[in-house]
Structure 1
Amino acid sequence: MTVLHTDIAVIGAGTAGLAAYRAARAAGQRAVLIEGGPYGTTCARVGCMPSKLLIAAAEAAHEARHAAPFGVRVGSVSVDGRAVMARVRAERDRFVGFVVNSVESIPAEDRLLGYARFIDNTTLQVGDVQVQARRVVIATGSRPALSEAFRALGDRLVVNDDVFAWEDLPKRVAVFGPGVIGLELGQALARLGVEVRVFGARGGVGPLSDPAIRDYARQAFQQEFYLDPNAKVQEMQREGDQVRIRYLGLDQQEHDEHFDYVLAATGRTPNVDQLGLENTTLARDARGVPLFDPLTLQCGDSPVFIAGDANHVLPLLHEAADEGKAAGENAARYPQLQPMARRAPIAVVFSDPQIAMVGLRHADLPAGQYVVGKVSFEDQGRSRVMLRNRGLMHVYAEQGSGRLLGAEWVGPRAEHIAHLLAWACQQQLTIGQMLDMPFYHPVVEEGLRTALRDAASQLIAG
């Protein structure tokens, strides 16, 4: 057996792991990057980028079908499923290639292929190599969470990872889970001509927590494709090369339908169950994730740190990069730790209309200590010009100080407005200071100004 000595062992070569490795090396430490699967981050391989490629194709088809109100006549629109998926896979592979090249530029002696298991807090077994480290960073990511009811469907069950390997588009797909992944992929498939049913279990739509915004989003999406956030599925079983689902529909009638695939988008689970954590002294929660400080990312008082999707706090690429860097730096300076400065929360769903959340969620606002500024995008000037006038925004401001606390909304160009609000949140701007900023005309951001003015009027009244 080979023994490898290092200052820091990083388990996982995804976004968080790469950031941790680079931070450790920048601090002058010897580091080894351990990866059991293929190189290429979740974002590039099966997440952000391939999903946006599918959405881009869906938007092209949708815009072509809805050009008539502008006086633009387009002939019949047909979707070549094989061509759509060929571009998705080709461009996906291109993005993955950039990541792989980046990883392979790391010195070979700093890379170790194989799945790691803890022997003790700082000793890892990777195949026939024993890694003896002074500190360890866990950055193993996450995977789709699947219940036993889904597993019985065999190869008729897919997760988002599988969708991007399709060579052609299926005819009918049932999507379980109207969260971020389910909404994005469900709507994209529907716009590409796939007959889609989206089923939820607890009334949720995307990540929204504001009841009024959630209800608006539900109604907006239901106008385009079947969406039941409180589905009553009575039976689901494999029948040949299809899945039969009996359910009580929105019309309160029983439906019995067959689907080519069931797409499970029911959440993700941290990849920590195969690490041999039982061999360490680390305390763990009910999911098996080590208990850790969310600012230093240290697990208990040990020389072990956990970053990215593996800790399941904020499973977003930019958060994983920040956490990886902080974990790598703290592993390098251990036991003298530095708490990381968290950025203002920002989340975007690339549906149409888009969904965005910034700062404090509605569910986390201090009761009785805030006002809500509102705007509908249905009559907002630029939105109507573009015929993208579906949307409702709520902006939350602190009573007394007037400081922006957060916002939740559904509407056009939300991905761009979200950045403006996140910057304002991070700088702790007040509603008044935001209204002192320039707003051009005619732009969708004027809708934001309307919501800010509404909040300001209530702050004055308060």
Structure 2
Amino acid sequence: MHNIDIAIIGAGTAGMGAYRAARKHTDRVVLIEGGPYGTTCARVGCMPSKLLIAAAEAAEAVREAPGFGVHSRAPRIDGAEVMDRVRRERDRFVGFVVDTVEGIDPSHRLRGCARFEDAHTLRLDSGEAIHAERIVIATGSVPVRPGIFDAVGDRLIVNDDVFGWSDLPEAVAVFGGGPIGLELAQSLHRLGVRVRLFGKGGGVGPLSDPAVRDVAAAAIGADLPFDPDADVQKITREGDTVVVRFTENGLAREERFDWLLAATGRAPALGGLNLAASGLTLDDRGAPEVDPLTMQAQGSHIFFAGDVAARIPLLHEAADDGRIAGDNAGRFPNLGTHDRRTPLGVVFTDPNIATVGASFSDLSDASCDFATGEVDFADQGRARVLRLNRGLLRIYGERGTGRLLGAEMVAPRGEHLAHLLAWAVQGGMDVETALEMPFYHPVIEEGLRSALRDLSVNLGRRIDNPPRCIDCGPGA
């Protein structure tokens, strides 16, 4: 029996953050991991997906070159070489994480899958037992596999599987219009794979603003076959082929693929923990209620962090969760309430999809008195120069104060616009102060200034920063 102050289950991003924070309070800490070391981000998430997207962007740049008067042959894509680089670079990123974990004092590390025996006792599958005064659960998430896909057997894959490919397939049906489905579908399509993307319920990534969502759906749909609310009648397996029968524009269709990629979300990885023995009250998902400002579960000595907390499944949020959970586990029962950063999410499609701060649905549901400013990138100067002129940015501001509340966008280089807006929102900036900031010419960020001007007008406020460029278009 190991008698310790804090046990942390899971050595991913959240678990490592919790470990570092807990060590500031006590040396009697143990980090438990039942699987391979290396975070979800490094192994099967952020990094390998961006490596695949980078290859797709290179191929697309060659295809787009004639639009600038630069002519070359169509790109020749070697799928084996693409996937070899993805795996090599992925393994390099994973190696950094593994080195970090293995650099931890061996007496603070245990290998094995943990299971609750009672509120303070954990039993590993190795047979070892741990009595912990406080426990942090940071076991991450697992892909959801809806029963409708059972018929395809081993032709069903999830995003985790893609990065194990040694070559690119001929055809893939991607189910799920969320961030993972959008990124993988577009990148595979641009790398020469025949792809059809099936969405459900009309959703496009994390967007809730109908105007932005429609523009995003059109932008993705112009690149590859995408139905945000697909009418799928049947999915079957014939030999090594996946057959999908669906309706398109009122007509029955059938299409065959090598694989069915389920990008239908992820769920907290709670299986095997035996949380029922922890003393926590569990909902119908088998999860407890968790306070996002303390990461404490129901006033108990148990804390949750990262994807398993079912908040925002992003790496920077998981790191913050871990830091908060570990700190509060260390200082328990005298908890600290931690402010959360302004929400920020980016989908690395082309154009980028991003959300910042309060969403359109958040503000509408709260009956907040807000106004909207927008810019259409069709005629924005720098976007047209780059032939990236498609997208829509909408910013939300509070009436009366002019304070920036949030934004949703599908925009060229939106990852950078989103960061600027997130900093402005977190800093409590109002629209006039934002318009006083410097904007270089010609840059994509001038489109942000156009949206801010529009917001200022719609808030009924005075504009002290009139356009300086008279010949570069409305978004200059």
Q: Tell whether 2:259 aligns with 1:261.
A: yes
Q: Determine if contact 2:5/2:26 at 8 Å carries over to the other structure.
A: no
Is contact 2:276-2:282 (8 Å) kept? Answer: no
Could you report, residue by residue, the CA deviation over 1:60-95 in whole angstroms, capped at 9, with x for unpaired residues?
000001100111111131110000000000000000
Alignment of 1:3-82 (within 5 A): 3-82=1-80
Map of 1:438-449 to 2, 5 A cutoff? 438-449=438-449
Shift of 1:50: 0.1
CA contact (8 A) 1:377 1:389 kept: yes
Deviations 1:194-233 (A, max 9, x none): 1101001100011100000000111111111000011111
Aligned residues: 459
Matched, 1:232 2:231: yes
CA contact (8 A) 1:58 1:191 kept: yes
Match of 1:286 among 277, 284, 287: 284
For the residue of structure 2 that corresponds to 1:134, the secondary structure is strand
Residue in 1 that maps onto 2:155: 156
CA contact under 8 A between 1:173 and 1:197: conserved in structure 2? yes
SS in 1 for 2:5: strand
Equivalent residue of 1:460, what SS?
Answer: coil
Query: C-alpha deviations, 1:82-140, integer Å up to 9, x for none?
Result: 00000000000000000000000011111111100001111100121000111000000
**Structure 1 residue 302 displacement after superposition:** 1.2
Amino acid at match of 1:278: A
Please identify runs of 4+ aligned residues in structure 1 that moved more than 6 A: none
Give the SS at the match of 1:143: strand
CA distance in 1, matches of 2:146, 2:70: 47
Q: Distance in 1 between matches of 2:68 and 2:96?
A: 40
Q: What is the rounded CA distance, in whole Å, between the counterparts of 1:82 and 1:461 in structure 2?
A: 57
TM-score, normalised relative to structure 2: 0.95
Q: Residue 151 of structure 2 contacts residue 235 of structure 2 at CA under 8 Å; is this kept in 1?
A: no
Q: Percent of pairs identical after alignment?
A: 57
CA distance in 2, matches of 1:222, 1:326: 41
Read off the aligned partner of 2:241 and give its amino acid letter.
Q
- Equivalent position of 2:243 in the other structure: 244
> 1:332 maps to what in 2?
330
Counterpart mapping for 1:186-205 below 5 A: 186-205=185-204
| Range that drifts further, 328-337 or 148-157 | 148-157
- Describe the shift of the 1:81–1:92 C-alpha distance in structure 2 as closer, same or farther (beyond 3 A): same
Amino acid at match of 2:30: V
Instruction: Give yes or no for contact 2:178–2:206 (8 Å, CA) kept in 1.
Output: yes
* Structure 2 unmatched ranges of 5 or more: 463-476
Q: Which residue of 1 aligns with 2:208?
A: 209
Mapped to 2, the partners of 1:419 and 1:27 lie a distance apart of 33
Secondary structure at the aligned position of 2:117 is classed as strand
1:82 and 1:339 mapped to 2: Cα distance? Answer: 50
Q: Which amino acid aligns with 2:128?
A: V
- Tell me the distance in 1 between the aligned counterparts of 2:284 and 2:309: 13
Counterpart code for 1:323: D
- The change in CA–CA distance for 1:298 and 1:57 in structure 2 (over 3 A counts) is same
- Looking at structure 2, the residues matched to 106 and 162 of structure 1 have their Cα atoms a distance apart, in angstroms, of 29
Aligned CA distance change for structure 1 residues 368 and 426 (closer, same or farther; 3 Å): closer
For 1:145, the aligned partner's letter is V
- On the 8 A contact 1:8/1:136 being kept in 2, the answer is yes
Residue of structure 2 in register with 1:405 after alignment: 405
For 1:407, the aligned partner's letter is A
Per the TM alignment, residue 356 of structure 1 is displaced from its structure 2 partner at its CA by 0.6
Displacement of 1:28 in angstroms is: 2.8
| 1:405-443 per-position Cα deviation (integer Å, ceiling 9, x unaligned) | 100010111101111100011011100110011111110
Would the alpha carbon gap of residues 461 and 425 (structure 1) be closer, same or farther in structure 2, given more than 3 Å must change?
closer
Name the counterpart of 2:220: 221
How far the C-alpha of 1:367 sits from its partner, in A, is 2.9
Displacement of 1:368 after TM fit?
5.8
Let me know the Cα RMSD of the aligned residues.
1.0
Kindly indicate whether residue 290 of structure 2 is the aligned counterpart of residue 322 of structure 1.
no
Tell me which residue corresponds to 2:437.
437
- Work out the CA distance in 2 between the residues paired with 1:388 and 1:351: 13
**SS class of match (1:329):** helix
Match of 2:452, SS state, is helix
Matched residues in 2 for 1:152 and 1:112: separation? 39
Q: Is the 8 A contact 1:24 1:30 kept in 2?
A: no
SS of equivalent to 1:320: helix
- Residue 461 of structure 1: how far off its partner (Å): 6.1
Take 2:177 and 2:233, find their aligned partners in 1: how far apart are those partners?
18
Cα offset, 1:257, TM superposition: 1.4
Deviates further, 143-152 or 319-328: 143-152
